[in-house]
Chain A
Amino acid sequence: DVKVTQSSRYLVKRTGEKVFLECVQDMDHENMFWYRQDPGLGLRLIYFSYDVKMKEKGDIPEGYSVSREKKERFSLILESASTNQTSMYLCASSGGTDDNYGYTFGSGTRLTVV
């Protein structure tokens, strides 16, 4: 029963390409998040959204944008991919009832920019 789905597990893109990472959740959560994970740095928040068409910058938004046109879908966009954006990207969602704590994560997309 997959609840947060990221469209690709592995992706290889060229420098300068526009890259779309898609995330869909089926739990009717209000909040969605994009993190990147790098060894020794943990997870760093890129962007998040508390509602449809709403977005907030996280700690490292430079070089990224997001789109949330529907409640269940949160897209991360790399406008012009660069090699320093090679990383594991994790999507998560949260919200709902009071007994639902923490996030539900997708399996991640490992992006390599060459």
Chain B
Amino acid sequence: GEDVEQSLFLSVREGDSSVINCTYTDSSSTYLYWYKQEPGAGLQLLTYIFSNMDMKQDQRLTVLLNKKDKHLSLRIADTQTGDSAIYFCAESINHTDKLIFGTGTRLQVFP
């Protein structure tokens, strides 16, 4: 079955880059997403990438996809304290279909 895995915690210093990693098993996944959840809030879509892309950049965010290894990463440049949150990767077959989520990575940014 489908499985999406992430490490549970990441701690970085303010101003450094953060890299959050994700591996998935379903090779038919067409869309891959990164969501952010701040304390007490629902999930907010940060960015997404199609499976035929290797990289997508959006301001401080860079998404890298290695389809051969089924590995997805999210790099946050110049990490700020406001980036402290839980980050989820997710996959789906099409853009409105059910999403399979990873376990989430809690990012803590310290001064």
Q: Are B99 and A103 in contact (CB under 8 A)?
A: yes
Q: Are B42 and A42 in contact (CB under 8 A)?
A: no
Determine the interface band of chain B, counting residues with CB < 8 A from chain A.
20 to 34
Q: Are A42 and B101 in contact (CB under 8 A)?
A: yes
Q: Are A45 and B98 in contact (CB under 8 A)?
A: yes
Task: Tell me whether B95 is interfacial, beta carbon within 8 Å.
Answer: yes
Q: Are B42 and A106 in contact (CB under 8 A)?
A: yes
Task: Tell me whether B27 is interfacial, beta carbon within 8 Å.
Answer: no
Residue of B31, B41, B44, B100 near A101 (CB, 8 A) is B31
A103 vs B88: C-alpha distance when bound (angstroms) = 13
A-B contact pairs, 22 of them (CB 8 A): A4-B42, A35-B101, A42-B88, A42-B101, A42-B104, A43-B88, A43-B104, A45-B98, A90-B43, A96-B96, A98-B95, A101-B31, A101-B45, A101-B48, A102-B33, A102-B35, A102-B45, A102-B90, A102-B95, A105-B43, A105-B44, A108-B41
Given contacts A101-B45, A102-B99, 7 further A-B contacts (CB under 8 A): A33-B99, A42-B88, A45-B98, A98-B95, A101-B33, A102-B35, A104-B45
User: Which B positions have Cβ atoms within 8 angstroms of A?
Assistant: 4, 6, 8, 31, 33, 35, 40-45, 48, 88, 90, 95-104
User: Which A positions have Cβ atoms within 8 angstroms of B?
Assistant: 4, 30-31, 33, 35, 40-45, 48, 58, 90, 92, 94-96, 98, 100-108
Among all A-B residue pairs, the 4 with the closest Cβ atoms:
A105-B42, A42-B103, A43-B101, A102-B45
